[in-house]
Amino acid sequence: MAQLHTLPSWQARRANGRAARERTPRGSHETIGDVDRDPTALLQSSSEGRVPALIRLRYGRMLVSPFTFYRGSALIQAHDLATTPNSGLWLQICGDCHLSNFGGFATPERALIFDLNDFDETAYGPWEWDLKRLVASFTIAGQQLGHGDLAADEFAFLTAQSYQTHMREYAEMGVLDLWYERITFERMTGVVQSDDARRRLKRGFERASRRTHDSMLPKLVDQSADTWRIRDSPPAVFHIRGDSTLIDKADEWMTLPDDRDVIFANLMRSYVETLTPERAALLSQFTFQDLAFKVVGVGSVGTRCLVMLLTDSHRKPLFLQLKEASTSVVLRYARAGKSSVIDAHNGQRVVHGQRLLQAATDPFLGWATGPVGRHLYIRQLRDMKISAELETFGDDAFREYARLCGWALARAHAKAGGCAPEISGYIGSGDRMSETLVRYGRAYAEQVEKDYALFRAACRDGRLEARSDADMAADFAL
C-alpha cells in the first residue's frame, strides 16, 4: 500500500533554503569559475557533427560582436560555471538563458504570452546557472549596445531583483495556481512603467498577431497549380539535394533515399507516437508538400534543422520545424549524480524541459529519431512568435525588459522545480544576492571580451574560418 507523506510547510521549506547559505554563502556566486581554458578549442568541440559548410557561418554570426559571441558560446560558460559553488538546489533549467531567448508566442488557445522560448540545452542543473547567464547577458548587451557600464550594471541588478521578488511571490502560491500562471501581454502592459514600453508592447502584440502560417506562405513558398515548394534562399534555406545545397556530397544524409520516403516511413511515424492521440489526429488531416534545410539562430547554426510544409484540404499551410538536439552543455558539465531515461534521447529531453518550464507549449511539440539516428524535436515554425529588438531599446525599455525576463525566469523555475520556497529562502529579502550577481555579470563580461578577442584572432589567422550570411549568399548570386 502506498505511503502518504506529510509535506513540510512552505515556511519550513523556505527555512531550509536559508540554511543552504551555510554551505554556499551567497557572496560566493561572484566568482566566474575556471577560465584557464582555450575558448577556441571549446568552440571547435561544440562544432563536431555539424554541417561543415555551415560551421563557418556559425563563426561568422558569432564574430559580429562580443554579445553574439556570448549567444553562441553556452558551452564555454557551462564549462566555467562547473567549477563555481552552487546552492545545492537543482531543478530542470533552461541551460541557455540569455536575454534573446525570451519572447512572445501563442498558446494553444491563441492567447499571446511572454516566456522562455529556447530549450536546446535544458537539463537538470543548479537554478543559479540560468540566472547568472541571464544577468551576464544584460551586462554584455548593455555595454555593447552603447548604454554604458553603469546602465548595464543596473539592467543586471533589475533582472536579479525581479527574479527575487517574483520567486518570493511564487513561494507562497498554491501548486495548481503556479502551474496555471501565465505572463500575458495584458498583465505586462499593466506592470511596465514607461509609455515607450507600453507602445512597444502594443506594436509587438500587433506584429505577433500577424505572424501566422498564412502570412509566412508567400514569403517562404512558391506555388503553382499542383505544386508547393519552399523557396531556396541560401545560406538560410535550401533543399538538401538541390542546386543551392550546402550539404557535402560525402555527408551521411546524401546516402539516404528520397526525402519523402525517409520522412514518412521513419521519422514521422516516430514523431506521431510522441503526440497525444487528439493531436496526432489533428496532424493526420495535413498532407506533406515539401521539406528544406533551414539555418536558425547563432548557437544552433550547422546543426541539422529542417522546415516542413504541410497543407490541409483547404490548402491552408502548416509549417513544422525539425531541429536537431545534441547533448546539453549542462549535462556535459553539471554533475548532479542524477541520471534520467529522458536524457538518453536528446529530442525527448528538450520536449520534457520545455513542457516543464513553459507556461504553455506548442500542441505539435514532439520528438523523433531522424535519419542515421540523429535526435530531433519538432514544433511549429514561428507561429505568432516575436522577439525583442534590442538595438532599438533606450535605457527605460531595457530596464522594463530586464524586469520581464527576471519575472519569466522565476515563473519557469518555480513551475519546473517545485522548489520556489527553498530558492526564495536562499536568496532572502535584501539586495545581497542581486549585488553579488551584478559583480558576477561585470566580471564575466570582461572575460567574454577576452574570449572574443582570442576568437577573433583565430578567425584572422585562419585557425577558424568565419563567413557572413551576405558573403555566403553572394556565392550563389554569382
The string of pLDDT tens digits covering residues 127-175 is 999 999 999 999 999 999 999 999 999 999 999 999 999 999 999 999 9
d(CA 253, CA 430): 55
For residue 285, give the C-alpha cell: 488531416
Q: Is residue 285 part of a domain?
A: no
Q: What pLDDT, on a 0 to 100 scale, did the predictor assign at position 265?
A: 66
For cell 547563432, what's the residue?
298
Q: Is residue 462 part of a domain?
A: yes
Q: Is residue 301 part of a domain?
A: no
Helix (H, G, I), strand (E, B) or coil at 89: coil
Q: What is the per-residue pLDDT across 257-269, written as a single tens digit (0 to 9) for each?
A: 765 666 666 788 8
pLDDT category of residue 294 using cuts at 50, 70 and 90:
very high
Q: What is the per-residue pLDDT across 76-119, written as a single tens digit (0 to 9) for each?
A: 999 999 999 999 999 999 999 999 999 988 888 888 899 999 99
Domain of residue 87 covers 13-19+33-211+391-477
d(CA 430, CA 157): 12
Q: Is residue 173 part of a domain?
A: yes
**Within 13 Å of residue 51, how many CA atoms lie on the same side as its CB?**
26
pLDDT category of residue 207 using cuts at 50, 70 and 90:
confident
pLDDT (average), residues 334-339: 63
Q: Is residue 432 part of a domain?
A: yes
Under a CB-based contact definition with an 8 Å cutoff, are residues 305 and 378 in contact?
Answer: no
Q: What pLDDT, on a 0 to 100 scale, did the predictor assign at position 259?
A: 58
Q: Is residue 330 part of a domain?
A: no
Q: Which residue has the higher pLDDT, 199 or 296?
A: 296
d(CA 180, CA 241): 45
Residue 241 has pLDDT above 80, yes or no: yes
d(CA 114, CA 405): 9
pLDDT (average), residues 352-375: 93
Cα dihedral across residues 222, 117, 208, 201: positive or negative: negative
Residue 194 has pLDDT above 80, yes or no: no
Helix (H, G, I), strand (E, B) or coil at 113: strand
- The pairs formed by 142-146 with CB atoms below 8 angstroms and a separation of 24 or more are 142/398, 143/445, 144/65, 144/66, 144/67, 145/67, 145/390, 145/391, 145/393
Under a CB-based contact definition with an 8 Å cutoff, are residues 307 and 288 in contact?
Answer: no
Q: What is the per-residue pLDDT across 414-430, written as a single tens digit (0 to 9) for each?
A: 999 999 999 999 999 99
pLDDT (average), residues 359-368: 95
d(CA 30, CA 28): 5
Q: What is the per-residue pLDDT across 17-52, written as a single tens digit (0 to 9) for each?
A: 999 999 999 999 999 999 999 999 999 999 999 999
Residue 75 has pLDDT above 80, yes or no: yes
**In the chain, % of residues over pLDDT 90:** 74
CA torsion 103-105-107-109 (nearest 10°) is: 140
Q: What pLDDT, on a 0 to 100 scale, did the predictor assign at position 177?
A: 95
Q: Give 321's contacts (C-beta < 8 A, 6+ positions apart).
A: 294, 296, 305, 306, 307, 308, 378, 379, 380, 381
Q: Is residue 236 part of a domain?
A: no
d(CA 249, CA 233): 20
The total domain count for the chain is 1
d(CA 56, CA 349): 28
Q: Is residue 175 part of a domain?
A: yes
